[in-house]
Structure 1
């Protein structure tokens, strides 16, 4: 688990931050619907990135402990 998070975690983080940066530019558009879309996409991507880097490894570790018992 530690090896996979350390190797893939940086690629996922950079990819997620790139998506967040790209959609953050849409937030500043004067068209309200498009601006809202950009904001929601940035928030969803940020939440997914945090969850993938924190909650997912903990969940997998718990499931592995449960399976070995």
Structure 2
């Protein structure tokens, strides 16, 4: 049996779908901060690992904000 291997490099459409947003939102939010891999003069691909790192950085930032804004009285419960 042959197992399917997920591609590491994704097209813009695949990358947008991978992170859960439209291609327009991907262009506006992700492309300015996650570097693409130039395949040739016209085509760029996004590294799935780099996208995971970007998502992790957003998750860590959200966790820090939640911790900072946590009510100290919650610890008494």
Normalising TM by the smaller chain, what interval? 0.3 to 0.5
> Greater strand share, 1 or 2?
2
> Greater helix share, 1 or 2?
1
Larger radius of gyration: 2
TM-score, length of structure 1 as denominator length: 0.40
